[in-house]
Chains A and B, each alone.
Chain A
């Protein structure tokens, strides 16, 4: 078994109003950052996983995302796996 570091980026699906992003964008505009657009806010989760291969690690983390870490109804997630040296 190898140890891997998983980095998970969770974002609201496109088409779903991101009220946090919108609010931050409005605030940015109000302090002069007029050219900043389409602010979207998500979550970033890191965890360590022991698995036989990076593919297995990704599979396991993916199933954890489906079950708990993300809400597949409204969120997409991306997983990056890196071997811990």
Chain B
């Protein structure tokens, strides 16, 4: 399996994503520059990594969404290619319209950088199939704008089509207000599109891909993707 890690000016988790894909998940990976107009044919999954593309100017992800490569990213996903947007990558995916809703400023206004716990709400996806039933994932977040918001109609659609994949929870898996770090609606940490090939999440699985980092739960997402090939 081969990953393509898209690098925008201001991305800062591109190397971590590359490392997790190659060193931890034992896959191939290449970097793709945001000005590229072509996505190589042998790429199976694109990663839009975390960071602060274009300095988060205007709104997080708002300008990156118009980078030349994004046309190709949309085309790639329309053909069924897998796309994983992590943190800033998730913000870019909502701005470009591949995922519904938006990420607003954290309710506390703080930039929050810490481990959180996640419950998998849908393990029947290409990104979550290897997560054992009932397992609470420990994966860090690092963001100032991760407060997921969508209108009522969109939220109902997400629920109806089982598109909510990860929710913030307590250490023992309870989903409540205290476990919600940023004010996200319904504790939403990650969602998938209707076709099941585009996933966006605020937590950083690539920063939790080996025990040395404090957790290797994030590797389950890479391993789930690997199972499709």
Contacts and interface: CB of A to CB of B under 8 A. Distances in A.
Interface of A: 16-17, 19-20, 23, 68-69, 71, 73-74
B58 interface: yes
26 contacts: A16-B104, A17-B183, A19-B105, A19-B106, A19-B107, A19-B108, A19-B109, A19-B183, A20-B105, A20-B109, A68-B58, A68-B62, A68-B63, A68-B66, A69-B58, A71-B59, A71-B62, A71-B95, A71-B102, A73-B101, A73-B102, A73-B149, A73-B150, A73-B151, A74-B102, A74-B104
Contacts of A73: 101-102, 149-151
Contacts of A19: 105-109, 183
Nearest to B62: A68
Nearest to A69: B58
B107 A17 contact: yes
Complex A-B, nearest 3 residue pairs according to Cβ-Cβ distance, in ascending order:
A73-B102, A19-B109, A19-B105
Contacts of B102: 71, 73-74
B143 to A, nearest CB: 14
Contact of B149 (A16, A20, A23, A68): A16
Interface of B: 58-59, 62-63, 66, 95, 101-102, 104-109, 149-151, 183
Contacts of B149: 16, 73-74
Nearest to B106: A19
Contacts of A16: 104, 149
Given A68-B63, A71-B62, 11 more contacts: A16-B104, A19-B105, A20-B105, A68-B62, A69-B58, A71-B59, A73-B102, A73-B150, A74-B102, A74-B104, A74-B149
Contacts of A69: 58
A74 B100 CA distance: 12
A14 to B, nearest CB: 13
A23 B109 contact: yes
Nearest to B63: A68
A76 to B, nearest CB: 14
A8 B156 CA distance: 33
A51 to B, nearest CB: 22
A17 B108 CA distance: 11
A17 B149 CA distance: 11
A1 B197 CA distance: 47
Contacts of B105: 19-20
Nearest to A43: B58
Contacts of A68: 58, 62-63, 66
A54 B143 CA distance: 41
A46 B59 CA distance: 17
A71 B95 CA distance: 8
Contacts of A17: 107, 183
Contacts of A20: 105, 109
A69 B57 CA distance: 11
A61 B60 CA distance: 21
